[in-house]
Each structure stands twice: as structure tokens, then as C-alpha cells.
């Protein structure tokens, strides 16, 4: 089994990564992590190359991600919640999924044959809610042919309790891994 993980956190030892680490402890198979804050992936420039052509004309690390998207069975999006949304760098990486939208709606092609299992981990504190970032993450997952979105994990009181101590979130992260481990 192969799992693609989009990590939207800037902090290597923060709450989002602590839940990702627990997830990885329970995950079987191969995985590839796209760290939005330090990857070599530029945002979409709306050049419209993908309106008529397969793929993207911007040659960067996203080419490897496109290949992994086609090969993997599972996709996880994990992000802190900033201003009631996924983090900016994660949204920039996600903008490069425009090629899949263009394939379906302009070229009338199915760019990704294999359906994926998907899941979302959201972490935050404060007074916002997770509705908007969850909807955005689901939209990104659908672009990658993940219409089977299995789980949403929210640790939304990290200003009061670290995510690594949030027993509900820890249990839910393990359930995602268990689900991803099954064919």
C-alpha cells in the first residue's frame, strides 16, 4: 500500500506533526510526505497549459507528486487551521491540482484511474471552526480521485491541550491508519 501525505504545518515538532507521527507509527506500507513549507513546489500560475495538455508545464517537485498520486491507494491531508482555513503554503501546493480539474472539465478525460481512500487531520485552537478547511481539504481530495473520504480528525483545542494529549484525536488517527492498511 502507498500513502501520500500532504503536511501543511510549518512546525516540525508542532501539534499537526505530533498527530502525523502517531499516524505513521500505525501505518503499513510505503508513504511519501509533501511538506508544504519546505518543498520545491510553486503555486499554479494559471497559464492554462493544462486546458489542452496532460500534466503541468511547471517542472518542479510536483512532477514526482503527480506520479505518486497515480500510484497510491491513500491520501491524507494534515494541516493547522490558520484564519479558519488550511495553511497558505498547503493551498499553494493544492492549486497545482488544477491540472486534474482541467482534464475532467475541459478535456473530458479521467486523469486518475485508481480511486483513493482519503482522510483529513485538522489542528487548531482559538474560536474558529473546522468547516471551511475541511471542505477545502475534501475538494482537494476529490481532485485526486478520492471520493471515499473516510475520516476527519480534529484536535481543536490546542491552545488549551496539546494534540498529543487529545485522546479522541489520537484514537481517530489510529483508525485512519487502520483503514488505510486495509485493501
What predicted TM-score, i.e. pTM, was given to this entire model? 0.96
Nearby residues of 154 by Cβ (< 8 Å), 6 or more positions away: 122, 123, 130, 169
Mean pLDDT calculated for residue range 99-115: 95
Query: Pairing mode, if any, of strands 30-35 and 2-7?
Result: parallel
Range of the domain at 117: 2-181
Instruction: Find out whether 3 and 180 touch, Cβ atoms under 8 Å.
Output: yes
The domain spanning residue 135 has which CATH number?
A: 3.40.50.360
How confident is the model at residue 75, as a pLDDT? 97
**145 or 150, higher pLDDT:** 145
Task: Tally the residues of the chain.
Answer: 183
How confident is the model at residue 183, as a pLDDT? 82
Q: What one-character DSSP code corresponds to residue 121?
A: E
How confident is the model at residue 90, as a pLDDT? 98
Residue 40 predicted with pLDDT over 90? yes
Please choose, from the candidates 5, 179, 145, 175, the residue with its C-alpha nearest in 3D space to the C-alpha of residue 75. Answer: 5
Give the CA distances from residue 79 to residues 30, 82, 91, 155, 162, in Å, rounded to whole numbers and listed in that order: 21, 9, 10, 11, 15
- Can you tell me the distance from the alpha carbon of 38 to that of 101, in angstroms, rounded to the nearest whole number? 25
- Can you tell me the distance from the alpha carbon of 167 to that of 150, in angstroms, rounded to the nearest whole number? 19
- Can you tell me the distance from the alpha carbon of 135 to that of 124, in angstroms, rounded to the nearest whole number? 16
Number of domains in the chain: 1
How confident is the model at residue 159, as a pLDDT? 85
Amino acid at each position: 500500500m502507498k500513502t501520500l501525505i500532504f503536511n501543511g504545518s510549518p512546525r516540525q515538532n508542532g501539534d499537526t506533526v505530533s498527530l502525523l507521527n502517531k499516524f505513521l507509527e500505525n501505518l503499513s506500507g510505503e508513504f511519501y510526505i509533501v511538506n508544504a513549507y519546505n518543498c520545491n513546489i510553486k503555486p499554479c500560475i494559471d497559464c492554462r497549459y493544462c486546458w489542452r495538455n496532460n500534466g503541468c508545464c511547471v517542472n518542479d517537485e510536483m512532477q514526482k507528486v503527480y506520479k505518486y498520486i497515480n500510484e497510491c491507494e491513500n491520501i491524507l491531508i494534515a494541516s493547522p487551521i490558520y484564519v479558519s482555513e488550511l495553511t497558505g503554503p498547503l493551498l499553494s501546493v493544492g492549486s497545482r491540482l488544477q491540472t486534474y480539474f482541467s482534464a475532467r472539465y475541459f478535456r473530458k478525460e479521467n486523469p486518475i484511474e485508481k480511486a483513493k481512500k482519503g482522510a483529513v487531520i485538522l489542528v487548531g485552537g482559538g474560536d474558529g471552526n473546522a468547516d471551511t478547511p475541511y471542505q477545502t481539504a475534501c475538494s482537494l481530495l476529490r481532485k485526486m480521485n478520492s471520493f471515499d473520504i473516510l475520516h476527519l480528525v480534529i484536535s481543536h483545542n490546542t491552545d488549551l491541550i496539546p494534540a498529543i494529549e487529545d485522546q479522541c484525536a489520537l484514537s481517530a488517527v489510529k483508525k485512519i491508519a487502520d483503514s488505510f492498511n486495509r485493501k
